[in-house]
Chains A and B, each alone.
Chain A
Amino acid sequence: MITLEELNAKTWLREKFREYYAKEGVEPPPMIWQREFGVGNEKKIDYRHMSFRDDKELLGYLRSTTPLYISYSAGYYKFPSATPMEKKGMLGADLIFDFDLGDISDTCSSGFPTVECLGLVKNEVVKLIEEFLIPDFGFSKDDILVFFSGSKGYHIHIRNDLVFDLDQRARKELVDYVSAAGMNVRFFLRREGKSLHGPLPSSNGWGGRLAKELVKVISEYPPEKARNILGVSKSVFQKISTRRGELVDGMNRGLWDLVPVSMATWEVMLSSLALRLGVKLDRNVTIDMSRLIRLPTSLHGSSGLLVERVKNLDKFNPLEDAIVFGRKYIRLHVKRNLEFYLGGEQKIEAGEVELPEFVAVYIVAKGEGEPIGEL
């Protein structure tokens, strides 16, 4: 059951969103008439199978009905509002990568997102772009659109002819590649006669990536850290470490057994490195072509922050840059003592307080307080 206070809070929040959409609007996705939309107030998606003929219709909807959440399909359909799904007639889809705090670290997955935790997610986004999408797949920076999800993560949208008609299996192959999911490192090594051959640190793709990282970890890192990264026992590490010159020498020539290391140990070390180098993201979002994703440039109902296009990822701090509401003071009843970062450190005591609008919206969206009187 929804309480009267909650209802009040949601109505107030939607009123704030309405004001925002009336002033700023949204940037509609390309080919809007081929996209399915989903909206929600209670849940992120209460209704789906909606469609809009054009930009004006979408904007009109946001200004009149104003849902707290709005999502659209990565897929393009002949009949985006038809049900069931197979009647929509999929034409193709953008390629999406979804990053969320929950996939990165357990300590970050609850409570208000912190700058540090969101920074960890950002590192994964950078990793995907700089280590995989550009060098391996040859995408250009212009192909890769990065959005702050509006709450606890980032989305990457790639919209071009190249990815448009990739099928589900191909998308799975791509996301498995970047995340190293299901990788069996044994395939990188092969026995030829008596010797064990493997990739050179200068090789392309994952083979080279693993070899290069292995060389780096054994030759540059302090022993204890190196051992932890590689996930091997002290005695095994001792053996490798004392003869690392020889080992690296051999690897630079593609010979991986100048120092005797068991196949099982190679597997442990390479798997640990793969886990470390792979991108941490939600694979299902990439694979599921009929998935709905938060509409870029809309507001997120759990934060009141903007689903913003990130142009300079290096400098981007969502807890500063995605704020859209102002500094006008709002009277609020806050349920408990709160400490979080939003446009600066915020320390708020439970009870009746006056807060700048952007902080008030954030607290109400998180369900931690209700506005007083302003309705």
Chain B
Amino acid sequence: MDFKNDLDELRFSVKYPFTSVAKGLVRRMNIDLKSNDPEIVEVIDTAKKRIKEDLRGGVILDPRQKLTRALEIQLLSYPVARILVALSRNNFMKKRFAEGESNTMRKFLMGAPDEEVAYLLPELGIKAEGGSIHFKDYIMFMPDDEQYRLFYQSISSGYVSINRDLIVEIMTSAYRRHILDTLSNYPSDFEFLKKELPDIQIKRFERFEYTGKANADAFPPCMKNLLAEAAAGEHLGHSARFAIAAFLVNVGYPIDKIVDVFKNQPNFKEKLTRYHVEYIAGKKDGKKRLPPSCEKMKTYALCVNPDALCSRVKNPLSYYKVKMRNKRGRG
């Protein structure tokens, strides 16, 4: 990437702090986070603010800013925020951080010139050729909507040709994945920053408070997995949401509690979720929907860690019923 001047390079790095250019700049600044320098204090404060903004959906950055110092602080807040989030060992926070940071990048990408996008693709590990990207990156990072499925794309010799908007979506999701993968290591060199953690701790919605008659121990592995993913704020696709909602409806969870299951979803909208759950519960037409069969769960790639009982039942619901019957029989 050619830059007109240092300021240009710095502004680019604020927008895309994951690039080798930005990492090079940060390294050259050679800062000591242990010092009490007012600039360092400001960097750490900005990093904490950044995390809070990420949890709300995205960072507010100002790369057009003229002051070099203000730009530098924005840039430095990224690696520091990463360290803090990694130190927190809170998976929910990691996911929200990755979501927020990648949303922020998406905003910059949408207005970016083509050569900037082309430059960033390999930086995100995406193999690209002209307007096409490699099918592997496509299927790993494509959006959930049906229209984006591979069938409907133009693919040849391993490359899928897609428009700018879709490339931006793929890059966003690749960046989210990249952040999550690289945040998994615990940065023990920076334990001294742990004292900052109380400022960023967030309350997360408790999982499965419901202690009515449904017994979560007796849930099949696929449903346990979906509940764990939902609780961790993992983005669930349509079929996954339907499956878990229909399952919970049928084991007798109240609608409010089912809506709560989706509270950690990145794009949670209470009203819409309630509408869907009520539909599945048959509030509209008196028809309670059943969860998909095990066969269907397999084709949706939602059947995970099946155990011996799984092979004897046709529907996740029967698994639960058998387990409960056995429990009662013993108890």
A203 touches B154 (CB 8 A): yes
Cβ of A238 under 8 Å from chain B: no
Contact across chains for B305 and A287 when beta carbons are under 8 A apart: no
Q: How far is the CA of A185 from the CA of B200 in the complex (A)?
A: 48
Decide yes or no: A173 and B139 within 8 Å by CB, A135-B157, A181-B299, A288-B298 being known contacts.
yes
Complex contact A167–B161 (CB within 8 A): no
Beyond A137-B135, A283-B299, whether A86 also contacts B161 by CB under 8 A is no
Q: With A181-B299, A205-B156 as given contacts, are A162 and B151 in contact (CB-CB < 8 Å)?
A: no
Contact (Cβ within 8 A) A166 B136: yes
In the assembled complex, how far is the CB of residue B113 from the closest CB belonging to chain A, in whole angstroms? 27
Known: A170-B139, A287-B301. A180 touches B156 (CB 8 A): no
Give the distance in Å from the alpha carbon of A181 to the alpha carbon of B298 in the complex.
Answer: 13
**Considering only CB atoms and an 8 Å cut-off, how many residues of chain A contact the other chain?**
38
Q: Known contacts A135-B157, A170-B140: does B305 contact A206 (CB below 8 Å)?
A: no
- Give CA–CA (A167, B153) in the complex, Å: 20
Contacts of B158-194 to chain A: CB distance below 8 A: 158-159, 161
Q: How far is the CA of A139 from the CA of B150 in the complex (A)?
A: 17
**Is the Cβ of B298 less than 8 Å from the Cβ of A136?**
no
**Interchain CB contact under 8 A, B149 and A176:** yes
Complex-state Cα separation, A208 to B155, whole angstroms: 10
* Residue ID in chain A nearest B225 by CB atoms: A86
Do residues B155 and A176 form an inter-chain contact, with CB atoms below 8 A? no
- Contact, CB under 8 Å: A205 / B155: yes
Interface status of B3 (Cβ within 8 A of chain A): no
Contact of B301 among A172, A180, A184, A206 (CB under 8 A): A172
| B298 and A205 form a contact (CB under 8 A) | no
Interface of B is mostly: mixed
A193 at the interface (CB under 8 A from B): no
Enumerate chain A residues within 8 angstroms of B153, measured Cβ to Cβ: 205
Q: Is the interface of A mostly helix, strand, loop or mixed?
A: helix
Q: Shortest distance in angstroms between A247's beta carbon and chain B's nearest beta carbon?
A: 22
Q: Is B307 an interface residue (CB 8 A)?
A: yes
Q: Is A219 an interface residue (CB 8 A)?
A: no
**Please, which residues of chain A bring their CB within 8 A of the CB of B115?**
none
What per-residue 1/0 map shows which CB atoms of A133-173 lie under 8 Å from chain B? 00111110000000000000000000000110011111111
* Number of cross-chain contacts by CB at 8 Å: 82
Q: Does any Cβ of A come within 8 Å of B209's Cβ?
A: no
- Asked whether, in the complex, the Cβ of A177 is within 8 Å of the Cβ of B151, the reply is yes
B217 on interface, CB distance cutoff 8 Å? no
A174-B150, A187-B147, A205-B153 known; A166-B139 Cβ under 8 A: yes
Q: Could you say which residues of chain A place their CB within 8 Å of the CB of B152?
A: 187-188, 206-207
> Quick check: is A228 within 8 A (CB to CB) of the other chain?
no
The B240-254 residues at the A interface (CB cut-off 8 A) are none
Cα(A136)–Cα(B159), bound, Å: 8
User: A168 with B150: in contact, given A135-B157, A137-B135, A138-B158 (CB under 8 Å)?
Assistant: no
A-chain residues with CB within 8 Å of residue B303 when the two chains form the complex: 288
CB contacts under 8 Å to B, within A167-217, are 167-174, 176-177, 180-184, 187-188, 203-208
B174 to chain A, nearest CB (A): 13
Query: Known contacts A136-B156, A205-B153: does B140 contact A85 (CB below 8 Å)?
Result: no
**Contacts A169-B301, A287-B301; A204 near B139 (Cβ below 8 A):** no
Q: How far is the CA of A206 from the CA of B135 in the complex (A)?
A: 14
CB-based contact A172/B151 at 8 Å = no
* Residues A173 and B159 in contact, CB atoms below 8 Å apart: no
A138 touching B149 by the CB < 8 A rule?
Answer: no
Residue of A nearest to B160 (CB): A205
- Closest chain-B Cβ to A83's Cβ sits at a distance in Å of 10
User: What distance in Å separates the Cβ of B293 from its nearest Cβ neighbour in chain A?
Assistant: 13
The CA-CA distance from A181 to B149 in the complex, in Å, is 11
Known: A135-B157, A137-B155, A187-B152. 7 other contacts (CB 8 A): A139-B158, A162-B136, A166-B140, A172-B300, A183-B149, A187-B151, A284-B298
A-side residues, CB < 8 A to B, are 84-86, 135-139, 162-163, 166-174, 176-177, 180-184, 187-188, 203-208, 283-284, 287-288
Q: 9 closest Cβ contacts across the A-B interface?
A: A138-B158, A204-B156, A168-B301, A138-B157, A170-B139, A204-B154, A173-B139, A205-B155, A187-B152
The 24 listed contacts between A and B (C-beta, < 8 Å) are: A84-B305, A136-B158, A137-B135, A138-B135, A138-B156, A138-B157, A166-B136, A170-B136, A170-B140, A171-B301, A173-B150, A174-B139, A177-B151, A181-B299, A183-B149, A187-B147, A187-B149, A188-B152, A204-B156, A205-B151, A283-B299, A284-B299, A287-B298, A288-B298
